[in-house]
Amino acid sequence: MKVLIQNGNYNLVWKDAVWKNGSFRSLDERETYDNSKIFSVKDDDSNKIVVCPACKQEIRNTPAAIRKHQNMINEPNKCFECRYMRPINSTILSQKYVRNEDGTYAESTKRTVNLVCGNSYGSYDINSPDARRACKYSNCETAIMRPVEDFWTKYPNAFDEFITVDKIIEYGYTSVHKYEHTIEFDIKCKSKLTAFTNGQGLCYGFQLHYHRRYYELRYSAKYDKLFVLHYGLKELSCVDISEATQEQILKKMSALYS
């Protein structure tokens, strides 16, 4: 799977990616690709993952993986991997100290503990029926897995169509501002609308100045919709900008992208 993202110079480049824990990540999982930086997804394989509605965990979309997850409640040994498990009433049986070759010391301690489920106020032993009922997986056994839901599954190929600097010049602008990696054009519009272009000569977004606020926008020619960059990507609503202003901007966008 690949995602088209902006690099530090605002140019668009394809990067290999994987889907994990609700977001696209680099193959080594060191970098998360925020939706506000993604422009397209190629060979989306998020359908290989399903989400358990009971615990919100992502699972491989195979019968074996789903059955294993649904049976988690019946496997107390899985408690050892759970962040809710708590050791209490620890008693040291023996302690041993060893001197390492580099002069440091290591401690080896053997102790008994009671292991309880911390997902409730009862501190139930992990092998007890009460712990099974309190377990975060208690409702997974009968849960119906759901497909991954994300902006890109709802609006596939939303921004695959780009316009160039030439198209903006042809349409008309009132002023231009040149920077190191970008050129900004103020579009002829009743509202103050600015188009951002990069070194590749592509328009990667717009900015609207509306009622003393700035909105970073993207237009999808495929869906004829405006989207706002706010903690990711979301469809622009009348709560943000009035319906009349949106209609005005949509007409401008439609003309630009035609």
Q: Of 128, 154, 180, which marks where a domain is finished?
A: 154
How many Cα neighbours within 13 Å face the side chain of 20? 10
Query: What pLDDT shows up at residue 17?
Result: 92
Same domain, 7 and 91: no
220 within domain boundaries: yes
The predicted structure's pLDDT at residue 177: 94
Check residue 30 and give its pLDDT.
84
160 domain-assigned: no
Is residue 230 situated within a structural domain?
yes
Backbone φ, ψ for residue 211 (5° rounding): 50, 50
Three-class SS of 81-128: HCCCEEEEEEEEEEEEEEECCCCCEEEEEEEEEEEEECCCCCCEECCC
- Residue 69 domain flag: yes
| pLDDT given at position 193 | 92
Task: Say how many domains are in the chain.
Answer: 3
Among 154, 179, 197, identify where a domain stops.
154
Q: Is the alpha carbon torsion for 117, 120, 122, 128 positive or negative?
A: negative
DSSP reduced 3-state for 167: helix
- 74 domain-assigned: yes
Same domain, 65 and 115: yes
Q: Does 126 map to a domain?
A: yes
Let me know whether 185 and 236 are in one domain: yes
Any idea what DSSP says for residue 170? H
Same domain, 19 and 80: no
Residue 8 is part of which domain span?
2-51+147-154
Tell me, yes or no, whether 106 and 71 share the same domain: yes
User: In angstroms, what is the C-alpha Rg of the chain?
Assistant: 27
Q: Are 27 and 16 in contact (CB under 8 A)?
A: yes
Same domain, 40 and 69: no
Nearest to 256 by CA among 215, 221, 216, 204: 221
Domain end position, chosen among 82, 113, 144: 144
Which residues, other chains included, contact 191 with Cβ-Cβ below 8 Å and sequence gap of 6+? 208, 209, 210, 245, 248, 249
Same domain, 173 and 249: yes
Q: Do 189 and 250 fall into the same domain?
A: yes
What kind and span of H or E run contains 165?
helix 165-171
- Same domain membership, residue 97 and residue 137: yes
| Residue 73 resides in a domain | yes
**Within a domain: 159:** no
Q: Report the DSSP pairing between strands 225-229 and 233-235.
A: antiparallel
Q: What is the pLDDT of residue 76?
A: 65
pLDDT tens, per residue, the chain with 258 residues: 899 999 888 999 999 998 888 889 988 878 899 888 899 999 887 888 999 999 888 999 999 999 999 888 877 677 888 888 888 888 989 999 999 999 999 999 998 989 998 888 888 888 888 888 888 888 998 999 999 888 998 999 999 999 999 999 998 899 999 999 999 999 988 788 999 999 999 999 999 998 888 999 999 999 999 999 988 889 888 777 888 888 989 999 999 998
Residues 69 and 57 sit within 8 Å (Cβ to Cβ): yes
Euclidean distance between CA atoms 202 and 222, whole angstroms? 17
| 101 lies in the same domain as 171 | no
Q: Is residue 132 located within the same domain as residue 112?
A: yes
* 73 and 42 within one domain: no
